[in-house]
Amino acid sequence: MIRPVGIETEYGLNCEGFSEEIDFGYEASMLVRAARVEGAFRGWDYSREDPYWDLRGIRAERLERDPHDLRNSTSKSSKMSAEELLANTVLPSGARYYNDHNHPEFCTDVCVSLKDLVAQDKAGERLLLACQQARNGSAADGKVLVVKNNTDYHGRSYGTHENYLVPRAVPFQKLVDGMIPYLVARQVLVGAGKVGCEGKVAGAAKFQLSQRGDFFEEKVGINTTARRPIFNTRDEPHADKKQYRRLHVIAGDANRSEYATALKAGMSGLVLDRLVADEDFGIRLRDPVRAVREFSRDPDLRATAELDSGEAVSAPDIMERYLETLEAQGVEGAERGWVLGQWRELLDLLRSDPAAAGDRLDWVAKRNLLDSPGGAAELDLASRRKIDLAYHLVDPEMSLYDSLVESGRMRTLVSESRIGAATQTPPSGTRGTVRGLILRRFGSHVRNMEWDSVTLELDGRTIEVKMEAVAGDVIDRLTEVFAEAATLAEAVARLESGRN
């Protein structure tokens, strides 16, 4: 089992043929509301959330906001209540689906296997496709295409975030020192690729490794939509606060490749395991903010950054050092072995025959499409960006990524049947399993939900089912109780009595 992980993805909207100004908040909300999933719960309990708490033990006075979030709001969205606009939805799969900053966002529940994570993430793509089709089939004005990417090519970036629980006992600075060089360099394996440059620092790169590389301005910080840091310090564990921190990773891309999604989570889990075990990878970048940008803008992988020691290293060099440390420690389990094996194989391939890694890595696959002889290499910037965008469309009839899969040029990890099951079935062995069971069997009694609790009503009583653990014995017991009880009253009685 790799360290438990969940992924949040904000999807982009490409809107065409509208007769009036596009209201992106309204369109995002309508897409979420277009979800026709039997057994879903509409609502979300915000009472325990506070995004102002910082891992450094302080509470921020304010959060920076992307000024673009205030634009494109017209009479449609301004007349909606906050509840209507957010359109919070909890799915039988345990996932959360809602409108976040004018983007439909799909959040997987925590997963304890990489294939479960990939299946749940792909189930999100399928849901967004169904919502796109429903919206376009019923709306009289304009067409909306859903895009799984991280940029609108006009200076605005939207996120794909990973979430990992780590013990609160691990020193904060140890996490910062250990994770930043890795997060800066890992784009060589899990970047999604991008045409051109954006952001506040001018550049002339025709192609980049990462869609997010242009948008990081700080080394460490709490913000997520402006003044973005490489290491985010939001302290909302959605679990036992005394025991855990949630490492909220915002320095990553939206991957279409199933291999890249699995590697992104698997590599990070292995690095965190060693940091928890007090490993020091011994790498300190002098200017990581500059490094993340310059690494991204050099797809030939020759760019170097200076360490505190004065040594110049490339992104592959950094990934090699992390990998060597992990290989020297050894791993147990097939999943961990797979991650290390793919890490080694792909890193070696990028040094010897980069184009051959296009069957697993998004940025390489996209670069191969753009630079193929007689293909898109000589097109102007606008035309190349259209190809870039087409790679990320969730509609398989239009998506260049899906065409690569269909032609056998892109590998996959999970079957279509497993993805289909994930649209209704939670990841196994986690609190998502409990949430899904409650929705499926006792949904009419649900009054509110959040990640670590479900509020039920029974005979005038309010019952809160707490799930501060994400997996393990407590979750196994809750799963057993809600699966076996003939009625909710029986389930509650068993929980209150402590009987299994």
DSSP states of 137-148? HH-SS-EEEEE-
Q: Which fold has domain 5-418?
A: Creatine Kinase; Chain A, domain 2 (3.30.590)
pLDDT at position 36, please? 86
Here the contacts of 51-56 (C-beta below 8 Å, separation 24 or greater) are 51/222, 51/234, 51/236, 52/222, 53/234, 53/235, 53/236, 54/222, 54/233, 54/234, 54/235, 55/172, 55/233, 55/234, 55/235, 55/245, 56/172, 56/233
Catalytic residues: 100
Q: What percent of the chain has pLDDT over 90?
A: 86
DSSP element (H, E) containing 461: strand 461-466
Whole-prediction pTM value?
Answer: 0.96
Q: Is residue 193 within 8 Å of 388, Cβ to Cβ?
A: yes
Whether the pLDDT of residue 407 is over 70: the answer is yes
| pLDDT of the residue at 2 | 72
Cα distances (Å, whole numbers) of residue 93 to 34, 89, 438: 17, 11, 11
Could you give the angle at which helices 172-185 and 258-276 cross, rounded to 10 degrees? 150
| pLDDT reported for residue 127 | 97
**Band of residue 1 on the pLDDT scale cut at 50, 70, 90:** low
E strand residue ranges, 209-277:
216-221, 228-232, 244-249
Q: How many C-beta atoms lie closer than 10 Å to residue 32's C-beta?
A: 25
pLDDT at 203 over 80: no
Task: Return the minimum-mean-pLDDT range out of 145-149, 238-242, 358-362.
Answer: 238-242
CA–CA separation, 492 and 346 (whole Å): 50
Q: What is the mean pLDDT of residues 267-280?
A: 96
Report the percentage of the chain scoring pLDDT > 70.
97
In this prediction, residues 181-199 reach a mean pLDDT of: 96
Q: Does residue 403 have a pLDDT over 90?
A: yes
Q: Where are the domains of the chain?
A: 5-418, 430-497
Tokens for 106, please give them.
Answer: 């799909």
Average pLDDT in the 414-418 region? Answer: 97
Q: Long-range contacts: 133-137, Cβ < 8 Å, 24+?
A: 134/34, 134/36, 135/27, 135/30, 135/31, 135/34
What are the two backbone dihedrals, phi and then psi, of residue 448, each rounded to the nearest 5 degrees?
A: -165, 160
Q: How distant, in Å, are the alpha carbons of 212, 287, 461 from that of 183?
A: 12, 13, 47
Burial class (CB in 10 A: 0-12, 13-18, 19+), 240: middle
pLDDT band at 199 (very low <50, low <70, confident <90, very high): confident
pLDDT band at 176; cut points 50, 70, 90: very high
> Which tokens is 167 given?
């013990």
pLDDT value for 204: 81
Better-scored residue on pLDDT, 201 or 64: 64
Residue 399 is given by DSSP the state: -
pLDDT tens profile 284-327: 999 999 999 999 999 999 999 999 999 999 999 999 999 999 99
pLDDT digits (tens, 9 = 90+) for 424-450: 999 999 999 999 999 999 999 999 999
pLDDT above 90: residue 215: yes
Q: Provide the pLDDT confidence category of residue 37 given band limits of 50, 70 and 90.
A: confident
Read off the pLDDT band of 68 (50, 70, 90): low
| 140 neighbors 459 (Cβ within 8 angstroms) | no
Residues 6+ apart with CB under 8 A from 386: none
